[in-house]
Amino acid sequence: MGSLSYFRVADVVLFCLLLISNSRVAYGSNYHEDFDITWGDGRGKIVNNGELLSLSLDKYSGSGFQSKREYLFGKIDMQLKLVPGNSAGTVTAYYMSSQGSTHDEIDFEFLGNLSGEPYTIHTNVYIQGKGEREQQFHLWFDPTADFHTFSILWNPQTIVFSVDGTPLREFKNLEKIGVPFPKTQAMRLYSSIWNADEWATRGGLIKTDWTRAPFTASYRNFNAHACIKSSSRASSCTSATQSNHASWLSQKLDPTLQRRLKWVQNNYMIYNYCTDTKRFPQGFPPECNAKVT
Beta-bridge mates of residue 65: 37, 191
Task: Give the Cβ contact number of residue 253 at 10 Å.
Answer: 18
Beta-bridge mates of residue 259: none
Sheet with 120-126: strands ordered across? 35-39, 63-67, 188-195, 90-97, 105-111, 120-126, 135-137, 269-272
Burial of residue 39 (CB within 10 Å: 0-12, 13-18, 19+) is middle
Encode 121-158: b = buried (16+ Cβ within 10 Å), e = exposed.
bbbbbbbeeeeebbbbbebeeebbeebbbbbbbbbbbb
Distance of CA 88 to the CA centre of its chain: 21
Active-site hit among 105, 134, 198, 287: 105
Let me know if 70 is a catalytic residue.
Answer: no
Active-site hit among 33, 51, 70, 109: 109
Let me know if 51 is a catalytic residue.
Answer: no
The Cα 104–Cα 127 span in angstroms is: 5
Task: List, by residue number, the catalytic residues.
Answer: 105, 109
